[in-house]
Amino acid sequence: MNWNLKFRNWHRDFSYFYAGLLMAFSISGIALNHRHSWDPRDYVYDAVDVKFDLPKDKNAISDEFFQKALKTQGIELKLNGTAWRRGGYNLYFDNAYAYINPFTGEGQIESFRTRPILGQMVDLHKSASDAWVWYSDIFAICVLLICITGLVITKGRNGFKNRGWKLALLGVLIPSVLWFFL
């Protein structure tokens, strides 16, 4: 049995089979790495200015208060909840969000839509459904096989024994050093 040929075939076939998922995970992973700068899943497609006459008694400010005040402004969104964050009132709706300044009562309701393709890739990247967990575990094992077979299929001057081990070691050291200092 020619193991080198078998490894080469496994490497090729697993690479072909998982190429789309590898690209989707890579793209969504890059997007998620920068989620502190922008939302890779949702984008604002509409913004409506609102102003509330906030009562002096903070105990009177509740979900019901905001829901009634929104109706008086002709806004028919269903309020899912409120929270005090970032020094103001946050209002949560289905696919919308608002921050209300507690001093002026002014704010803006931003409505969101999912970014086409990238939003679905991010959802897939973060999914925790049982079926997806099993599939992604199988995917992870196959990625390991792609890596292992990739290490051993090249022989000679550019093979693992002569050149590949140095690059593989560097590929382990760089993230290890970054992890240590971060």
Query: What is the mean pLDDT of the segment spanning 108-128?
Result: 91
Pairing of strands 88-93, 79-85: antiparallel
Number of H helices, E strands in the chain: 5, 5
- Sequence-separated contacts (24+) of 58-64 with Cβ below 8 Å: 61/89
Beta strands in the chain (DSSP E): 42-51, 79-85, 88-93, 96-100, 106-114
Q: What are the tokens at 168?
A: 């593989």
Question: What does the mean pLDDT of the chain come to?
Answer: 91
The amino acid at 162:
N
CA distance 14 to 143: 8
Kindly tell me if the per-residue pLDDT of 144 is higher than 90.
Answer: yes
Query: What is the mean pLDDT of the segment spanning 123-136?
Result: 89
pLDDT of residue 151: 87
- Write out pLDDT tens, residues 38-54: 888 888 889 999 999 99
pLDDT of residue 42: 87
DSSP structural state of residue 78: P
Kindly tell me if the per-residue pLDDT of 141 is higher than 90.
Answer: yes
> What percentage of residues in the chain have a pLDDT greater than 90?
65
Give which of 158, 135, 149 is closest to 25, Cα–Cα: 135
More confident site: 1 or 12: 12
pTM for this model (two decimals) = 0.64
Query: What is the mean pLDDT of the segment spanning 157-171?
Result: 89
Query: What is the mean pLDDT of the segment spanning 111-138?
Result: 90
As beta bridge partners, residue 96 has 93, 111
Enumerate the H helices of 3-129 as residue ranges: 3-33, 63-72, 118-126
- Write out pLDDT tens, residues 66-115: 999 999 999 999 999 999 988 999 999 999 999 999 999 999 999 999 99
